[in-house]
A and B are shown apart, each in its own frame.
Chain A
Amino acid sequence: MKLKLATLALATGLMGGVLTAAPAMADLVFPSLSYRTGPYAANGIPFADGYADYMTLLNERDGGIGGEKVKLLECETGYNTEKGVECYESTKGSGALVYQPLSTGITYQLIPKASADGIPMLTSGYGRTSAADGKVFKWIFNFPANYWDGASIMVKYLLSQNNDSLKGKKIALVYHNSAYGKEPIRTLQELEKMYGFKLSLIPVDHPGQEQKSQWLQIRRDKPDYVLMWGWGVMNPVAIQEAANIRFPMDHFIGIWWSGSENDVKPVGAKADGYKALNFNGVGDDFPVYGDLKKYVYDAGKAAGAGDQKGTVLYNRGLYAAFLVTQAAKLAQQDTGKPQITPADMRDALEKLDISDKVMADAGMAGFGATFKVSCANHGGPGEAKVNQWDAKAGKWKVVTDWITSDKKVIDPLIEEDAAAYAKENNITPRADCN
């Protein structure tokens, strides 16, 4: 009987090993909590493809990182928080070096788990804004920009468009009625006091397919500008409704999650002139694309259908992979060993220096802002550019240089929120960070 049980256990163990395709211990494991199904699949796919293709490029062109092959562990979350947590739990034991869940809801759930497990998490442009405070959030990073940076950058851009004065202007915020959509409110309210504009808040419930009352309100209130924090179907519907009420498109600005091709193409020519922030490169006019073509696309190794290259969200996935693999390289250099641990990865993320040279060497010159991460600042420079949709060309045009957020406004808010989080969770802020 004992023998039978032992045989069964062995067989189960072997089967489990095969089914989960556990990576060889020498691999550098990067989990990808992707969503290729469900209502947000259209946005999840390009990001996941970009992330996967960059990892494939490193394996095919460079033989991995520092001689170690990169292993991508993709797990489908369907943009569902519970499934995201399951994915985390099922992959964390595989030597996962860093998580990038592409969901604010999943991020919120994983912050305490990843911190307790000692696995870093990078949530570029999403997640908990105050995670930029490295003194409290040791394992969480959200460079190069966060939501509050986004709000500040939008207001700075509007100031530049209005002779540095927004006094008396009416600005409406149309937002996804969720933790994500509510993130910029506090910052915008601070900026409202500072610059004398009048802010109105217009929530849209998930999923956002019906926004008639919101846009009737906008039509009645006649704001000078509309800002948007949307995701998924909410974005094209909002842009369509804005076009329907003849709201001037160039006065409508979305955050970087409301600025992909998926958001404007369904609206057609009427979306022309719509603007959105972006913190990564646009299009495929970068040398890295030459390598991707040679080693990934032409070799038939592209992820998914291979039809997403050059889109805003594909490039964001590419950029996300670039950032964490740069950190992995740095970790290998610092530790002097090719096999690194999540703790080594965390230390490297905290010392990351993305200079012009680093980006140029990767064939991505100008793809993102230059920045240095530090112990205290896990949030990066807080820079973004404004893109504008050219419906005729079917392309995003970059219409500004990098705009930096107003750190005098953002930093105290981050510090306050992080301190409140530390108090709630009995975290003693790191004393060695300044």
Chain B
Amino acid sequence: MVLPDQVLYAMEAALNGLLSGVMYALVALGFVLIFKASGVFNYAQGVMALFAALTLVGIQQGQVPFADVINLIPGVEVHGFGWTVPALLAIVLTGLVMIGMALIIEALILKHLVNQPPIILFMATIGLAYFLEGLGDTMWGADIKTMDVGLPQGMSGTIDTVTNAWFGYGFYVDQLNIVATVVAAVLVALLMLFSQYSKQGRALRAVADDHQAALSVGISLRFIWVLVWSIAGFVALVAGIMWGARSGVQFSLSLIALKALPVLMLGGFTSIPGAIVGGLIIGVGEQLFEFWVGPLVGGATENWFAYVLALVFLVFRPQGLFGEKIIERV
């Protein structure tokens, strides 16, 4: 099939945009889960991804947590346990750490803020973000760490060969993005199954619909919060692995949250499919805009274009594409 070069390049950009969008959606999912269950915009979600990634690498490499603090004791010098942990086991252990973190957050922060206005809870998550960033630094150090859990990276030879055979031009697609897409699909499917068919999932949806009604039928709000923060912690771990594999695990990882905001504005804060669709629209939109308009305006349009696109959607659908329309009666 012979297509003009510009069409092929645009197709390649769109395909990469779709896959990048999945990476954004992975981050956005964590926000959605917590907002759905508690009405809290979790400012700390990006830092949770960073903390999870730091913990995973730390466990995997057998680092001693708080080594720098321990080394302040005269005559003591520790750096590592001297062992390495297999990637899968390290992921499970990090998942447990994230559950532990959810328990602590519930006990120390959320429990005391029941019935407070959402802005108070939001402010609490800002504090949590700064605390977690400092904790991650103190526990594992601020040096850049290599994320090595065996994920493939680099150009996909299969897609290159297939598209070359079809169009006479091999498309570039990063294998890591393909893996991220599969992982995101599995994650969303599991989350949907959980929320539709499990008892706890139904309780979670009930809490999302109406806290007081859920409480009146005996659903434990505290348990649901621990559950949802644990799941969000696990989603943060997945996002941290995918983004950390690309850039190394460093403190700028927490800034991936910036990529999720336009996705949330577009897809809606309360919809899991919305996070995915929003991510895909933002991903494709910014890649095609950069491809067509970028050269005319000096490039680097992705960051601001994502927000402009989200704002345009907001004008027509303030609740986002899949968000619930909020009707408040006086």
Contact = CB atoms under 8 A, between A and B. Distances in A.
Contacts of A36: 142
Contact of B137 (A41, A237, A265): A41
A42 B291 contact: no
Interface residues of B, number: 49
A171 B298 CA distance: 17
Contact of B287 (A212, A237, A245): A212
Nearest to A267: B248
Interface string B3-21: 0000001001100110010
A220 interface: yes
Nearest to B133: A37
A40 B133 contact: no
Contacts of A266: 144-147, 247-248, 250
Contacts of A220: 9
Interface in A220-235: 220, 232-233
B142 A41 contact: yes
B255 interface: yes
A201 interface: yes
B198 interface: no
A212 B16 contact: yes
Contact of A243 (B12, B154, B303): B154
A207 B243 CA distance: 13
A210 B252 contact: no
Contact of B172 (A38, A204, A219): A219
Given A41-B137, A233-B252, A212 B247 contact: no
A213 B305 CA distance: 13
B255 A209 contact: yes
B25 to A, nearest CB: 13
B143 interface: yes
Contact of B153 (A202, A213, A244): A244
A220 to B, nearest CB: 6
Interface in B149-179: 153-155, 172, 174
Contacts of B247: 209, 233, 236-237, 240, 266
B300 interface: yes
B169 to A, nearest CB: 10
A45 interface: yes
Interface string A167-188: 0000000000100000000000
B246 interface: yes
Interface in B1-58: 9, 12-13, 16-17, 20, 23
B131 to A, nearest CB: 13
Contacts of B143: 42, 45, 262, 307
Among B141, B147, B248, the most chain A Cβ lie within 10 Å of the Cβ of B248
B250 A203 contact: no
Interface of A: 36-42, 45, 177, 201-205, 207, 209-210, 212-214, 216, 219-220, 232-233, 236-237, 240, 243-246, 262, 265-268, 270, 300, 305, 307
Closest 9 CB pairs between A and B? A266-B248, A39-B252, A203-B300, A233-B252, A213-B290, A41-B142, A205-B303, A177-B300, A42-B144
Given A41-B142, A212-B174, A233-B250, 8 more contacts: A37-B137, A38-B251, A45-B142, A201-B299, A209-B247, A212-B17, A244-B155, A305-B141
